[in-house]
Chain A
Amino acid sequence: MSHQLRLATEDDLAAMMELEKASFGNDSWSKANMRAELKAPHTYYFVAFVDQTIVGYAGLSKVSSSASADIQTIAVSDSHRRAGIGRQLMEKLIDQASKLGAKEVYLEVREDKPAPQALYQKLGFVGIDRRENYYQPDGVAAIVMRLAISLKNKSEPVVLGIETSCDETGIGIVRGTTLLANVISSSMDQHARFGGVVPEIAARAHLEALDSTLQKALHDAGISINEVDAIAVTNGPGLAGALMVGVGAAKALSVAIDKPIYAVNHLVAHVAVDVLERGKLETPTVALLVSGGHTSLLLVRDLLNDVELLGETIDDAAGEAFDKIARVLGLSYPGGPEIDRVAKDGDPKAIRFPRGLTLPKDMEKNRYNFSFSGLKTAVARHVELAESKGEDISISDVAASFREAVVDVLVTKAISACQDNNVPRLILGGGVVANSRLREVATQRCQEAGIELRIPAFSLCTDNGAMIASLAAQKIMAGVGPSELDFGVYSTLPV
């Protein structure tokens, strides 16, 4: 028999006291206290009942002059745990607080009770303080938690997203699924003479670019910082030192404007960007993310709750391979566009370079993983051998053949991932999506396989802050609570 909720009356006092004593023992309120709570003009108590038996209760306090409400207590009978009664009671109280005009709800929870803490977090509460020896006589500390009601289920939150996981300082602003600003400041030129991204140089550049990038984003969006409802930031995966600049910036901004913060996964955000162009993400979808830092295949059944990493590169990222081969061919950095340019006049079938992890034995263990180091060595050997023999090589042919090998593996594995999982959609993301041959081959083969291909605008494919903001906006609209303020950065953060 399922339970129901109703407002508590004084007639429920005896049953509530029984439950109170069973639930809290030492900490129990007295009957007089409980009666006063029930009768007070500013409190709202609800009971959960099955048949006529009271199996749980919870109370809210909201003084009319205050913009905040407090959860006074909540108890669920031992025999009715795990039936979602606690959650429903909490939701009832939050709803009541919202109806009474509260902007935030506070509660205290025993530090030694992880289960209720986890429930409150799921409901969007965030720990903001700790009170030593709060629960007597046990001497247990209380964790004070807060829920910002203004954001819960907000239909079109304005979110400012900060991205600093690699060499682009990105700050983007969205309103719900609408893109308001997407400003990117890249330190790419500073890495050129090193032939690849230097983490320390990238981190320094982020710090220098922060203020001007923020100002431009706000200007482009035509809003003031106080119109922002939430801050979002990449906390991984990426270069740790670079990530920390963004996280430090985002946390300070969140505290400064007193708005919640959402830590966001960079890879999932690459997929979330699609909602900015289409209003929603069609799922399930496979995502192929290819950049200088990543080569990953994701299976996205649900953007917020079910993203699976199918595979990734086991050595170089595809973008890195382009950079290294560009160097072998005497081309400049970044290698992708240069190889693309030179390859236009070349024959992609001139040299059959190896396709990493595509042999039958590899496909058993590494069906969706990538490897580009063997290919890189093969190209280098080819060039060196020709040079040692004094033969002329066609840089165009080498570039075209190399590019073909990379693209072939990327698209073949992405399409297998779609077919194996019965997913009729593929979305591309990451800077390597700028590669013309990748777009061409993906378009052609997806068409042949009856797979719908999504290629977001290039400014949304490369690393950017709008995608970070977009994913956080999706979370907010789904009622997901913000991150705690003490989250760290994770260079290998899993999806």
Chain B
Amino acid sequence: MTQVLLAIDTSSGTAVAVLVDGVVVSETYEPDTMQHAEQIGLQIQKALVAAGKKSSDVTAVAVGLGPGPFTGLRVGIAAAKMFAEGVGAAILGVGSLDAIAFTKELSEPTLVLTDARRSEVFFGLYQGKSQAGSPKALLGPGVKKQSDLEAELKSSGQSYEIVSGSISAAALGLLALAQLSEGKANSSIVANYLRAPDAVPAKGKKVSG
């Protein structure tokens, strides 16, 4: 049976790709980071049309679990979950930073950074790949001020080169398939927020004054 993988990531923009038997046949990307809810349905539809596939052809859905700004990240995960439910497809969760690392050589220690807002970065340090191509993580994913992170790495004598960039759904899909092939597919779809919700427990009862 033909394997049709729909890959979705909303940890930065809205990225969707369709892979048929391991080959990327279509990819769409909407860079606006404030348009996930508007774009998600359209982009999925577009990627499927461009790939010449119907929804019901999809056999697996891969989704970026973050880290990424929460509100957008959730849109993609919610969509992936419901698409998989709707067509009865398997679902595979992939680290969004891993998907960026997947596209790099990784012969040297490579620090993948994405914008975490509030003057912080989401980071992962990678070096080397498995035979199937999965990046090997040395550190992370985590969230920190970039200056603090780099100071720590330097003081521990860790060398690294920095890469950043947006996440390609095609890369995410290929990585999901690599992980599947080595028996490391992740079917537990839980967003990787890396931060607790901003909320303080209610203080005493004083309301007036």
Contact = CB atoms under 8 A, between A and B. Distances in A.
Given A207-B77, A248-B78, A488-B38, A330 B70 contact: no
A195 B202 contact: yes
B40 A200 contact: no
B55 A381 contact: no
Given A198-B199, A486-B38, A488-B37, A251 B79 contact: yes
A381 B206 CA distance: 9
A24 interface: no
11 contacts: A194-B200, A225-B85, A225-B86, A244-B37, A248-B74, A249-B78, A257-B87, A261-B41, A328-B205, A380-B208, A486-B42
A48 to B, nearest CB: 35
Interface in B68-83: 70-71, 74-83
A252 B199 contact: no
**Which label, helix, strand, loop or mixed, suits the secondary structure of the A interface?**
helix
Nearest to A378: B208
Given A194-B200, A200-B70, A203-B70, A258 B40 contact: no
B40 A251 contact: yes
B193 interface: yes
B43 to A, nearest CB: 10
Contacts of B206: 380, 384
Interface in B187-209: 190-191, 193, 197-202, 205-209
B7 interface: no
Interface of A: 128-129, 193-196, 198, 200-201, 203-204, 206-208, 210-211, 214-215, 225, 240-241, 243-258, 261, 324, 327-330, 333, 376-377, 380-381, 383-384, 485-489
B91 to A, nearest CB: 9
Nearest to A207: B74
Contacts of A261: 41
A253 B38 CA distance: 14
A245 B75 contact: yes
A414 B57 CA distance: 53
B54 interface: yes
A193 B201 contact: yes
A255 B46 CA distance: 10
A430 to B, nearest CB: 23
Contacts of A384: 206, 208-209
A249 B81 contact: yes
* Contact size range, B: 35 or more
Contacts of B70: 200, 203-204, 241
B82 A210 contact: yes
Contacts of A329: 205
A254 B42 CA distance: 11
B75 A380 contact: no
B167 interface: no
Contacts of A383: 205
A193 to B, nearest CB: 5
Contacts of A330: 205
Nearest to A202: B197
B100 to A, nearest CB: 22
A398 B81 CA distance: 48
B86 A248 contact: no
A256 B81 CA distance: 11
A416 to B, nearest CB: 29
B44 interface: yes
Contacts of A210: 78, 81-82
Interface in B32-65: 35-42, 44-45, 48-49, 54-56, 58
B55 A257 contact: yes
Nearest to A128: B45
Given A193-B201, A253-B85, 16 more contacts: A194-B202, A200-B197, A201-B199, A204-B193, A207-B81, A211-B81, A244-B71, A245-B78, A248-B40, A255-B41, A255-B44, A255-B48, A256-B83, A485-B41, A485-B45, A487-B38
Contacts of B198: 200
Given A204-B191, A248-B40, A248-B79, A215 B85 contact: yes
Interface in B106-145: none
B191 to A, nearest CB: 6
A207 B82 CA distance: 10
Interface string B145-164: 00000000000000000000
Which of A196, A207, A256, A384 has the most CB atoms of chain B within a 10 A radius of its CB?
A256
Contact of B197 (A198, A246, A486): A198
Contacts of A214: 82, 85
B74 A203 contact: yes
Q: Which of B35, B55, B58 has the most CB of A within 10 A?
A: B55
Given A207-B191, A241-B71, A244-B71, A376 B207 contact: yes
Contacts of A324: 207
Contacts of A196: 202
Ranked 9 nearest A-B pairs via Cβ:
A256-B86, A195-B202, A251-B41, A252-B79, A248-B75, A200-B197, A380-B207, A380-B208, A198-B199
A493 to B, nearest CB: 13
Contacts of B48: 255
Contacts of A244: 36-37, 71, 74-75
A207 B87 contact: no
A194 to B, nearest CB: 5
B122 to A, nearest CB: 17
Contacts of A489: 37
Contacts of A211: 81-82, 85
Contacts of B38: 486-488
Contacts of A333: 202
Contacts of A381: 208
Contacts of B56: 258
B40 A252 contact: yes
Contacts of B37: 243-244, 247-248, 251, 488-489
Nearest to B72: A244
B49 to A, nearest CB: 8
Given A201-B197, A204-B193, A248 B76 contact: yes
A72 to B, nearest CB: 23
A252 B78 contact: yes
A257 B193 CA distance: 30
Nearest to B200: A194
Contact of A377 (B44, B85, B208): B208
Contact of B82 (A243, A250, A328, A377): A250
